[in-house]
Structure 1
Amino acid sequence: MARRFMALSDVAETLDISASQAYALVRSGELPAIKVGGRGQWRVELDELEKYIQRQYAATRAMVESPQG
């Protein structure tokens, strides 16, 4: 069975950003996540991470293609 969720540390590693930057993405709502367990650890669904990445590609593409980009 494939993994469905990732810890924020894994998200940070995947995106090559710091753990605090990954947490900021979650807190801002840019990257949907859930809290699980008694300690309230954040988990990001793999599909949501992929959607976030695709949105970033689209935003970057739009910026590059714009006359002011």
Structure 2
Amino acid sequence: MNDPSPHPLARFLTITDTADVLNISAGQAYSLVRSGELPAIRIGSKGQWRVERDVLESYIEAKYEESRRSSLWNQSDFGNVAEFAFGESHHRTRST
């Protein structure tokens, strides 16, 4: 059996491998890394980005937890109150 995926014991994934795991484009994965949302390190003289497999798994688990909390919040009595809506920012300004 010829498995094209990285060795199961590989500690670090390339941006392309990370994108494949998340089922997103390499550009989207790179954006997650650049923004700091997905921690990564630069390796080698060319400074290629690598994502540690355990960090990626933690990121995925955190996203599941975020989704679960959002779902629970939206099912609560406060889920439809605009001022408390999960993930939305509403800023009030004062006149000076």
The TM tier, using the shorter chain, reads over 0.9
1:65 equivalenced with 2:72 (yes/no) = yes
> Structure 2-normalised TM-score?
0.68
Alignment deviations for residues 12-41 of structure 1 (CA, whole Å, 9 cap, x no partner): 011000111101111111111000111111
Q: Larger RCO: Structure 1 or Structure 2 (Cα < 8 Å, ≥ 6 residues apart)? A: 1
- Indicate the RMSD between aligned Cα atoms, in angstroms: 1.4
Greater share of strand:
1
Greater share of helix:
1
Structure 2 unpaired stretches of 5+: 1-7, 80-85, 87-96
1:11 equivalenced with 2:11 (yes/no) = no
Size of the aligned set, in residue pairs, is 69
1:24 equivalent among 23, 31, 35? 31
Mapped to 2, the partners of 1:36 and 1:15 lie a distance apart of: 21
1:34 matched to which residue of 2?
41
Mapped to 1, the partners of 2:13 and 2:41 lie a distance apart of: 10
Q: Which contiguous aligned blocks of 4+ residues in structure 1 show a shift greater than 6 angstroms?
A: none
Structure 1 unpaired stretches of 5+: none
Percent of aligned pairs with the same residue? 51
Based on CA coordinates, which of the two structures has the bigger radius of gyration? 2
